[in-house]
């Protein structure tokens, strides 16, 4: 039951992402053309859609990399239209690029990234162990790793930093089966500790098994959502909070099977 | 996405017509005065260049000053506006032209005094360095990149300009003073009233010309921007329509449609 | 900011240590420039000795272009620019760190070139304090200016050609001033070299301030 207006109703009701008619431009091209989306803290959301729909752009906008020029865009309480930079320390982006320095070794890269973000060294060793990077690969320069191995290093950086919001862009791509299992485990652990995960993926089976909710984007807008009633802060009069319920697995699977059919709002 | 109010028929307006006429009148007067100046013994005809050379230099520096100021206004968040960026770009182009003209007239003027086309006079060397810096600035503005990226980079460069000019001025001045060469400045010292009058009229005339050029160039840039802005609404609509139109259509497999083949 | 600067400087120098681009490519290039000058000018008529100060600083100038190019090439690999933005590092700190790393490399190159000028041109180095101070102050200015122009040109497709076009005119006063100061130190100048060092210091301050203030916005906008 929602509390009186303005009161905090508990951490699980806090909005991690809140977008209303958000427009983001790449030059003159509107990569996001009016996105409406609400994601609560601790959710795992699958973002799907055709190529060029705006999945990567939405993830980058959440990371504060893509400027939002119109509408409302709030991530972890930071208003992206006022200040894109402050949210970055709390966000981890696993993108197509790995953000690693070729000449440095695996451990040097991870250590640099962790220190740069201000996170402590605490989870470093554990992250590397989980991703199989603490053995022979530890001191190898990144330029000598395969693409999949580099992905694992980039993932290790995020695990070691443990940000509040994880943005994963095609995370399974290029990883072998074992690594994919590790990725899934790591994502579930992170969500269990309260992090919010948004992943964009074309890997339907794995991703829908992981995610509690599927959001479809096309033409720069959200066109479908398996949990369309938004979870918002109680002060927003527009929407009432939904009752707590288990992730709707059957509906999500049915949606994915029908993914060729796009509902235009 | 603010739109500036701009005349829709070309870039002329009452303001520019008035400016243009005044500038034209001023320049004609300047040339008349210049040509009517007496010859000096040392410099023959060339001393008449006093009517235009210092004016050209003055306008060049004025234009660079406008570039700096506009760049600063663009960078400061409270006053940030596309207008300042466009103004800076327009002024920088005009500055380049006037800097080049300063060099040419300075070189011509120096020839009888020095005997060569160029003798590393302190002022002219400074002008040459500034022209190189200005050309770099203009090159930066033309690089293919996102508009906002380009504007911020140019603005930062623009803001550094005054500091550069000061440092360069001292460096070049001290450099040349080591050699005690005569400079164009010395050549101007012993001239009488008619020369000074011509010089000041020249200042006024060319400043008006600068203003006229600036307004036109600036408006031209504004029109171009406006053209691109209006494309945005169309782009938004097209983008949203992608959801239905841009989907790949897998080919229909004939053997499935028509039954198995033997 | 200072912590971030130290982190970035350490990272850049560590990369240099692993890849050895400065030691293997830029240093030989610098010596090569000195040698080429000797081919162009006549070594027997004392021209080289008289011009030694200027030739030294021209070689330093060209080497600094390479060092700055390298500093930004490192960041151009696989989205590292985005990585810098996402890293949570203070942009002013990134600027100071990169400039510091470039400065360290330049100082090493200057020592090498100094030896080269003595050996190859027969220059006679007096006034060690003036020499060293000039080098230090100029290097700070060169590194700071180089990194400012480097980020102005970075990420643009025409980076390689734009950087020299932007940087060389801007570094002209450093060449002027540093050469005059060195001429005095080599016994060839007519005035005190210290006013030139002051001018170099002003130059360095301008660019350090410009970098600290401007790096943030510049890193942001694409």
- What is the mean predicted confidence (pLDDT) over B197-214? 82
| DSSP label of C85 | H
- CB of B230 within 8 Å of a chain C CB? The answer is no
Dist. CA B90–CA B70, nearest whole Å: 11
Let me know how many helices (H) and strands (E) chain A has, helices first: 7, 10
- CB of B133 within 8 Å of a chain C CB? The answer is yes
Q: Which tokens go with C152?
A: 């102005």
CB C65 within 8 A of CB C177: no
Confidence of residue B188 (pLDDT cuts 50, 70, 90): low
Interface residue of C22, C72, C77, C216 to substitute, partner A, most A CBs within 10 Å: C77
Domain residue ranges in chain C = 2-220
Between B and C, how many CB-CB pairs are < 8 A?
87
ipTM given for this complex: 0.82
Q: Which tokens go with A40?
A: 């609560």
Domain residue ranges in chain A = 11-257
Mean pLDDT (chain A, rounded): 77
| Count of residues in chain B | 262
List beta partners, residue A240: none
Dist. CA C148–CA B38, nearest whole Å: 51
Dist. CA A211–CA A47, nearest whole Å: 9
CB C162 within 8 A of CB C181: no
Between A and C, how many CB-CB pairs are < 8 A?
65
| C-alpha pair distances (Å), C83 with each of A33, A95, A96, A254 | 26, 10, 12, 38
Verify whether the Cβ–Cβ distance C218 to B168 is below 8 Å: no
- Chains with 3+ CB–CB pairs under 8 A to C are A, B
Weakly modelled stretches of chain C, pLDDT under 70: 45, 77-80, 155-158, 189-191, 221-222
Q: Which of A25-39, A135-149, B218-232 has the lowest mean pLDDT?
A: B218-232
Q: Report DSSP letters for B179-235, one per residue.
A: TT---HHHHHHT--HHHHHHHHHHHHHHHHHHHHHHHHHHHHHHHHHHHHHHHHHHH
- pLDDT tens string B145-187: 777 778 888 898 999 988 888 888 888 888 877 655 555 555 5
pLDDT for residue A237 is more than 50 = no
Verify whether the Cβ–Cβ distance C14 to A104 is below 8 Å: yes
| B96, part of any domain | yes
pLDDT of residue A204: 80
Q: List CB contacts (< 8 A) between C158 and chain B.
A: 143-144
> Phi then psi for A71, rounded to 5 degrees?
85, -165
Sign of the torsion angle spanned by Cα atoms B141, B143, B147, B152: negative
Query: Smallest Cβ distance to C221: which of B152, B171, B178?
Result: B152
Phi-psi region of C32 (alpha: psi -120 to 50; beta: other; left: phi over 0): alpha
pLDDT of residue B249: 66
Q: A11-257 has which fold?
A: Rossmann fold (3.40.50)
Q: Which of A44-48, A247-251, B158-162, C64-68 has the lowest mean pLDDT?
A: A247-251
CA distance A224 to chain B (A): 12
- CB of A113 within 8 Å of a chain C CB? The answer is yes
pLDDT of residue B96: 93
pLDDT of residue A29: 81
Verify whether the Cβ–Cβ distance A30 to B232 is below 8 Å: yes
Q: How many CB atoms lie within 10 A of CB A214?
A: 23
pLDDT of residue A253: 39
pLDDT of residue B39: 59
- Which of the listed ranges A8-12, A192-196, B235-239, C142-146 does the model predict with the highest average pLDDT? C142-146
Q: How many CB atoms lie within 10 A of CB B77?
A: 7
pLDDT of residue B208: 83
pLDDT of residue C140: 94
B193 or A74: which carries more pLDDT confidence?
Answer: A74
Cα B21 to the chain's mean position, in Å? 22
Q: Which residue has the tokens 């001033």?
A: C177
Indicate the pTM of the whole model.
0.78
A88: nearest CA partner in chain C: C86
pLDDT for residue A159 is more than 80 = yes
Verify whether the Cβ–Cβ distance B143 to C168 is below 8 Å: no
Q: How many CB atoms lie within 10 A of CB C40?
A: 10
- CB of B213 within 8 Å of a chain C CB? The answer is no
CA distance C182 to chain A (A): 37
Verify whether the Cβ–Cβ distance B243 to A29 is below 8 Å: no
pLDDT of residue A256: 39
Q: Which tokens go with C75?
A: 């960041």
Q: Report DSSP letters for B32-81, one per residue.
A: HHHHHSPPBTTTBGGGGGGGTHHHHHHHHHHHHHHHHHHHHHHHSGGG--
pLDDT of residue A206: 81
Sign of the torsion angle spanned by Cα atoms C140, C93, C208, C214: positive
- What is the mean predicted confidence (pLDDT) over B117-130? 82
pLDDT for residue A236 is more than 70 = no
pLDDT for residue A200 is more than 50 = yes
Dist. CA C5–CA C80, nearest whole Å: 17
- pLDDT tens string B23-81: 777 777 777 766 666 655 555 566 666 667 888 888 899 999 999 999 999 888 777 78
Confidence of residue A80 (pLDDT cuts 50, 70, 90): confident
pLDDT of residue B256: 58
| B147, part of any domain | yes
Verify whether the Cβ–Cβ distance C199 to B167 is below 8 Å: yes
Interface residue of B82, B236, B237, B249 to substitute, partner A, most A CBs within 10 Å: B236
Identify the domain containing residue B177 by its residue range.
51-185+213-228
Interface residue of C3, C5, C78, C98 to substitute, partner A, most A CBs within 10 Å: C78
- What is the mean predicted confidence (pLDDT) over B88-100? 92
pLDDT of residue B47: 64
Dist. CA C158–CA C146, nearest whole Å: 17
- With CA atoms as reference, report the closest residue to B119 among B58, B184, B42: B184
Contacts of C20 (CB under 8 A, 6+ apart): none
Verify whether the Cβ–Cβ distance B157 to C222 is below 8 Å: no
Number of domains in chain B: 1
Sign of the torsion angle spanned by Cα atoms A139, A142, A146, A147: positive
Q: List CB contacts (< 8 A) between C14 and chain A.
A: 104, 108
pLDDT of residue A235: 47
CA distance C94 to chain A (A): 10
Query: Smallest Cβ distance to B171: which of C152, C173, C210?
Result: C173
Q: Which tokens go with B57?
A: 């230099």
Q: List CB contacts (< 8 A) between B235 and chain A.
A: 28-30
Confidence of residue A258 (pLDDT cuts 50, 70, 90): very low
Dist. CA C184–CA C128, nearest whole Å: 11
pLDDT of residue B79: 76
Query: Smallest Cβ distance to A30: which of B148, B236, B246?
Result: B236
Dist. CA B178–CA C176, nearest whole Å: 12
Q: Which residue has the tokens 């119109």?
A: A70
Query: Smallest Cβ distance to A264: which of B228, B235, B244?
Result: B244
Q: Which residue has the tokens 């600063």?
A: B72
pLDDT of residue A127: 85
Cα A150 to the chain's mean position, in Å? 19
Q: Which tokens go with C4?
A: 């971030």
Dist. CA B225–CA B89, nearest whole Å: 13
pLDDT for residue A1 is more than 50 = no
CB B48 within 8 A of CB B202: no
Contacts of A200 (CB under 8 A, 6+ apart): A46, A47, A48, A55, A56, A58, A59, A168, A169, A170
pLDDT of residue A117: 83
Verify whether the Cβ–Cβ distance A28 to B232 is below 8 Å: yes
pLDDT for residue B3 is more than 60 = no
Which own/partner contact pairs does B13-21 have at CB distance under 8 Å and 24+ positions apart? B15/B215, B16/B212, B16/B215, B16/B216, B19/B208, B19/B211, B19/B212, B19/B215, B20/B212
């Amino acid at each position: 039951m929602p509390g009186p207006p303005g009161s905090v109703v508990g951490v699980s009701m806090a909005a991690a992402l809140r977008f209303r008619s958000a427009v983001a431009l790449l030059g003159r091209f509107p990569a996001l053309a009016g996105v409406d989306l609400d994601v609560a803290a601790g959710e795992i959301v699958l973002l799907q859609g055709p190529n060029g729909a705006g999945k990567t752009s939405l993830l980058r906008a959440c990371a504060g990399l893509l400027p939002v020029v119109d509408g409302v865009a709030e991530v972890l309480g930071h208003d992206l239209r006022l200040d894109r930079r402050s949210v970055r320390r709390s966000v981890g982006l696993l993108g197509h690029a790995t953000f690693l320095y070729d000449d440095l070794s695996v451990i040097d890269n991870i250590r640099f990234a962790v220190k740069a973000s201000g996170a402590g060294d605490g989870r470093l060793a554990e992250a590397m162990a989980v991703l199989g990077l603490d053995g022979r690969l530890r001191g190898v320069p990144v330029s000598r790793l395969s693409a999949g191995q580099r992905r694992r290093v980039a993932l290790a950086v995020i695990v070691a930093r443990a940000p509040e919001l994880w943005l994963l862009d095609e995370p399974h791509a290029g990883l072998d089966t074992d690594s994919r299992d590790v990725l899934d485990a790591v994502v579930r652990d992170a969500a269990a500790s309260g992090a919010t995960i948004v992943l964009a993926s074309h890997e339907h089976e794995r991703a829908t098994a992981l995610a509690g909710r599927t959001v479809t984007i096309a033409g720069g807008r959200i066109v479908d959502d398996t949990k369309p009633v938004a979870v918002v802060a109680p002060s927003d009069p527009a929407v009432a909070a939904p009752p707590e319920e288990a992730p709707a697995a059957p509906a999500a699977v049915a949606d994915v099977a029908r993914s060729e059919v796009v509902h235009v709002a | 996405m603010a739109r500036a109010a701009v005349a829709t028929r070309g870039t002329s307006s009452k303001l520019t017509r008035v400016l243009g006429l005044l500038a034209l009148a001023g320049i004609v007067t300047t040339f008349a005065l210049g040509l009517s100046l007496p010859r000096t013994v040392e410099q023959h005809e060339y001393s008449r260049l006093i009517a235009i050379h210092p004016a050209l230099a003055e306008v060049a520096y004025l234009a660079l000053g406008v570039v700096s100021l506009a760049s600063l206004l663009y960078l400061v968040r409270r006053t940030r506006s596309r207008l300042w960026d466009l103004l800076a770009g327009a002024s920088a182009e005009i500055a380049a032209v006037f800097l080049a003209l300063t060099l040419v007239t300075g070189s011509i003027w120096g020839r009888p005094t020095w005997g060569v086309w160029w003798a590393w006079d302190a002022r002219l060397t400074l002008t040459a360095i500034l022209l190189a810096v200005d050309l770099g600035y203009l090159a930066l503005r033309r690089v293919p990149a996102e508009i906002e990226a380009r504007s911020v980079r140019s603005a930062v460069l623009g803001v550094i300009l005054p500091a550069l000019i000061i440092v360069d001025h001292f460096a070049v001045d001290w450099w040349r003073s080591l050699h005690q060469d005569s400079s164009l400045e010395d050549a101007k010292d012993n001239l009488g009233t008619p020369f000074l009058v011509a010089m000041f009229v020249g200042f006024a005339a060319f400043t008006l010309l600068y203003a006229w050029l600036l307004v036109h160039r600036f408006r031209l840039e504004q029109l171009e921007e406006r053209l691109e802005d209006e494309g945005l609404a169309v782009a938004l609509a097209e983008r949203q329509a992608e959801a239905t139109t841009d989907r790949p259509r897998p080919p229909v497999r004939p053997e499935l449609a028509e039954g198995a083949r033997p | 900011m200072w912590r971030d600067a130290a982190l970035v400087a350490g990272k850049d120098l560590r990369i240099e240590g692993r890849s050895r681009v400065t030691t293997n490519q830029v240093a030989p290039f610098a010596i090569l420039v000195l040698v080429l000058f000797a081919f162009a000018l006549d070594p027997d008529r004392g021209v080289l000795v008289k011009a030694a100060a200027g030739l030294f600083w021209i070689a330093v100038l060209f080497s600094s272009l390479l060092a700055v190019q390298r500093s930004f090439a490192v960041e151009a690999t696989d989205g590292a620019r985005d990585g810098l933005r996402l890293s949570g590092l203070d942009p002013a700190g990134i600027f100071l760190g990169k400039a510091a790393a470039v400065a360290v490399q330049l100082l090493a190159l200057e020592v090498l070139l100094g030896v080269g000028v003595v050996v190859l041109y027969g220059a006679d180095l007096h006034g060690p304090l003036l020499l060293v101070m000039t080098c230090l102050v100029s290097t700070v200015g060169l590194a700071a200016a180089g990194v400012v122009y480097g980020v102005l040109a970075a990420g643009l497709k025409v980076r390689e050609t734009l950087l020299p076009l932007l940087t060389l005119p801007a570094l002209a006063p450093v060449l002027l001033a540093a050469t005059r100061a060195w001429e005095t130190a080599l016994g060839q100048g007519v005035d005190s070299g210290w006013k030139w060092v002051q001018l170099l210091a002003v130059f360095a301050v301008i660019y350090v301030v410009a970098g600290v203030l401007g790096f943030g916005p510049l890193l942001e906008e694409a």
